[in-house]
Amino acid sequence: MAINSIWVFAQTAGGAPTTGTLELLTKARSLSSNVSAFIGGDASAVAGALGEYGATKVYATGDLAGKLPGPAVSAAMKAVIDGGDSPSVIMFPQNYEGRDVMARLSVKLNRTVLTNNTDIADSADGVVATTPIFGGNTLVNTAFTGEGPHLVSFRPKSFAAESASGAAATVVAASVPDTGAAGAARVTAVHVEESTGPKLDEANIVVSGGRGLGEAGSYSLVEDLAKLLKGAPGASRAIVDAGWVPYSYQVGQTGKVVKPAVYIAAGISGATQHMVGMKGSKNIIAINKDKEAPIFGVADLGIVGDVHKVLPQLIELLKSRG
Amino acid sequence: MNIVVCVKQIPDPATPGALDGSTNALKRDGKLILDESDAYGVEMALQLAAANGGGDVNIVSMAPNGEMSGMRTALAMGAAKGVLISDPALAGSDALTTAKVLAAAIQKMGSADLIIAATESSDGYTGTVPEQMAEVLGLPSVTFAKKLTITGLSLKADRQTEEGYDEVECPLPAVISVTAGVVEPRYPSFKGIMAAKSKPIDTFTAADLGVTPTGWAGAGQKVVAVTQAEARQAGEVIEDDGNAFNKIVSFLENLKVI
C-alpha cells in the first residue's frame, strides 16, 4: 500500500460541508481507513457531517478573519506536517480555494501537483490519478514518482457522495502561523449572487444559452424555458465573459460541471471548455444554426435551426400545456 | 508603476491537440501563438500602467525552441520588452518548476510592483502557476480577479468565488491572476505590429537564472497510461422545418420529465 493516510481539504457553505467535500471524503475512505478533513475555518458545526462521510479527524484553523485561504490554510497544513502528521495524499477540489491552497502548499513542501483529475487509484505504479484531456476524449493516467504528500485535485462530481454513517470527527486545532507579506491580502466584503429555482449543479434539467442568442436580451428565453421545465438556467463561457449573465451561471471547465437528466444547449457551438462541463449529462438536446457545430457530436437530439424561432415556439407550447 | 505580465505561447487551439508518442506530453513543436487568456492580462496591465502615472509593462514567457511569435503579439499590443526563458533542459517541467523559473526571471527583470497572469493556460490548464509563483516570491496574491484597481501602494480586486465574489484589498507588490473578461483586449494596430518587430526580447537559460532544471525525471510525476475514453454517440440531427419544437417536446415526454 502506497497510501497510509489521506487528508481532504474541506469546505463549507451555509454551515454544512459542500457536496464536493463529501465526494472527496467518500473516495478517500475507499483508499484508506485513516482519513482526516482539513478546514480553513471553524469545524464545530460540521464535525458530525464530516465524520458521517468518513473523516475520523478534522483539523481546523479557526476563523480566518478575512485572510485568503491560499497562504493561510497551506501554512497551517505545513505546520501540522512538520509536527509529524504527514499524510500520503492530500485531496483538493478543483475550485478557487482548492487550487490556491494546493499551489501554495506545493511550494512549501516542494512537491508536484496533479490537477483536473476525475479518479485516483493506489496501484502497482504507485498513486495514480486520471485526467481527461482533449475535451474528455482521452484519459491520461499519471503516477506520482516522488515522496508524499501527493497533492492532487479533482473536478466536481468525479465521485458520488455516500454516507458511511461514521461517528463525528474529532476536531483538532491547526492554527495559522504568521504568513508575513505572502498573507497580506484581506477580504473586505463578501457578495453572494442569489439565484432562484434549483441550483445549477443539482438541477434535473439545465437549459444553457450561448453566443448564438445574439444579444443579452435574448437570454430571457433561456430563463423562461428553464423555469417552465423546473430546471436551472446555465451559460457558456462566451456570454459570461461578455457580461450577459453572472459567472455563477457558467457551465464548463472553468465553471460548473453538471450532469442533469436533460441538458438543453441553445445557441452553444460546443467548445471543449464547455463540453467538459456538460457531456456527462444523461440526455443532451442541442439547438444551433450551424450544422457543423461540435455540440451536435454529443447531442441525442440535434436541431439545426434558429434559437430565436425554436425557443419561443417551445415556450408557447409548454405554457399552453400548463 | 512597473508591471510584469506572464504570457504563455501555446499551439493554436483551433488545431486538434496531440500527445508526443515518446513522452506523452502535449506536442508544442510547431508555431506557437499567444494564449488568448493572456491577452486579458496584457490589456489589464496596459490600462493600469496608464491610469497610475505610466511605467513599463514587460512580459515574460517560458517556451521551447526560442519561440517568440506569441510574445510579439503581446508586444504589438503595447508591452515594452520581453524576457524569454527557453532551454531544452526545461522540457518536461511541471507547474512548480515553471513557477520557479518565472519567479527567477521576474526577480532578474528588477522591481515589479505588480505581476499579472491568467488563471490557467488554455493548453495545459494546471491552474496553479500564478499562486505558486507568489509563494516562491514571498508575495501576497489575489487569484481569479474579475475587476482590478490600484490606489497608491495597494490594489482592490473583485475575486471570483463559488457563490459570488469577494472584495479583496492587497498591498503591492503582489501577484494577480485575472479571469477572461476582466477587460476587453485591444487588437494590435498596424503600427503596433511593426513596432513589436524591433522591441527587445532577452533570452535566458535555466542556468542564467540559477534554477536547476529537473526535466522529465524530476517532475515528480510520470504518465503511465493513455487510453481513449468511451465516446458519446451522436443521436438524431434534424433541420428545423418550423416544427422542430414538437420533436423536442416528444423527446422530453419520452423521458417523462414533462
DSSP secondary structure of A162-176: ----PPPPEEEE-PP
Cα distance from B16 to chain A (closest Cα, Å)?
8
Interface residue of A92, A118, A142 to substitute, partner B, most B CBs within 10 Å = A142
Distance CA(B67)–CA(B70), nearest Å, equals 8
**Secondary structure (3-state) at A56:** coil
Residues of chain A positioned with their CB less than 8 A from the CB of B234: 296-299, 302
Q: Is the pLDDT of residue A65 over 90?
A: yes
Q: Which residue has the cell 453572494?
A: A192
Cα of B103 to nearest chain A Cα, Å: 12
Residues 168-227 of A with CB under 8 A from B: 180-193, 204-205
Query: Across the interface, do A305 and B232 touch by the CB < 8 Å criterion?
Result: no
A185–B174 CB contact, under 8 Å? yes
Chain B interface includes A95 (CB < 8 A): yes
Stretch B159-186: mean pLDDT, rounded?
Answer: 92
Residues in chain B closer than 8 A to A296 (CB atoms): 234, 237
Per-residue pLDDT band for A2 (boundaries 50, 70, 90) equals confident
What is the 3 state secondary structure string of B58-90?
EEEEECHHHCCHHHHHHHHHCCCCEEEECCHHH
Bridge partners, residue A17, by sequence: A12
Residue A254 confidence (pLDDT): 78
Name the residue facing B221 among A112, A262, A317 (closest C-beta). Answer: A112
Cβ neighbour number for residue A68 with a 10 Å cutoff? 30
Closest in B129, B160, B237 to A302, CB measured: B237
In chain B, residues with a C-beta closer than 8 Å to the C-beta of A146 are 220-221
Could you tell me where the DSSP H helices lie in chain B?
36-51, 69-77, 95-109, 129-137, 190-196, 206-209, 215-218, 244-254
Q: Give residue A193's pLDDT.
A: 80
Confidence of residue B127 (pLDDT cuts 50, 70, 90): very high
Mutation pick from B232, B236, B256 vs chain A, by most beta carbons of A within 10 Å, is B232
The reply to whether residue A71 touches residue B140, judged by beta carbons under 8 angstroms, is yes
pLDDT digits (tens, 9 = 90+) for A239-286: 998 889 988 899 998 788 899 999 999 999 999 889 989 988 999 999
Out of A111, A248, A285, whose CB is closest to B220? A111
Enumerate the residues of chain B whose CB falls inside 8 A of the CB of residue A180: 138
- The full 3-state SS of B179-200, as one line of letters, equals CCCCCCCCCCCHHHHHHHCCCC
Chains A, B: CB pairs < 8 Å: 256
Of A96, A180, A190, the CB nearest to B143: A96
Would the pLDDT of B6 be above 60?
Answer: yes
Query: What integer pLDDT is reported at residue B213 of this predicted model?
Result: 82
> What pLDDT does B22 receive?
83
The length of chain A is 322
Inter-chain residue contact B161 with A134, CB threshold 8 Å = no
Q: What number is the average pLDDT over the span B83-92?
A: 94
> Is residue B204 predicted with pLDDT exceeding 70?
yes
State what percent of residues in chain B have pLDDT above 70: 100
> Distance between CA B162 and CA A255 in Å, rounded?
9
Complex ipTM, two decimals?
0.92
Average pLDDT over residues A107-136: 93
The count of C-alpha atoms lying within 13 angstroms of the C-alpha of B247, restricted to the half-sphere facing its C-beta, is 19
pLDDT at residue A135 above 80? no
Cβ of B221 and A192 within 8 Å? no
pTM for the model stands at: 0.89
Instruction: Find the closest chain A residue to B173 by CA distance.
Output: A181
pLDDT-based confidence at residue A10 (cuts at 50, 70, 90): very high
Say yes or no to pLDDT of A1 above 70: no
Nearest to A187 among B132, B168, B234 (CB): B168
Question: Of all residues in chain B, what percent carry a pLDDT higher than 90?
Answer: 75
Cβ A13–B163 below 8 Å, yes or no?
Answer: yes
Residue B124 exposure: Cα atoms within 13 Å on the Cβ side = 20
Q: A22 with A53: CB under 8 angstroms?
A: yes
Q: Which of A154-163, B124-133, B159-168, B210-219 has the lowest mean pLDDT?
A: B210-219
Residue A278 has what pLDDT? Answer: 94
The region of weakest confidence among A152-161, A182-191, B11-20 is B11-20
The pLDDT of B79-92, averaged and rounded, is: 95
Beta-bridge mates of residue A8? A37, A91
Residues 6+ apart with CB under 8 A from B155: B114, B142, B148, B149, B169, B170, B172, B174, B176
> Would the CB atoms of A301 and B17 count as touching at under 8 Å?
no
B30 pLDDT tier (thresholds 50, 70, 90): confident
Who among B120, B127, B249 is closest to A317 (CB)? B249
Residue pLDDT, tens place only, A297-314: 999 999 999 999 999 999
Smallest Cα distance from B198 to chain A, Å: 33
Interface test with A, best of B15, B35, B126 (most A CBs within 10 A): B126
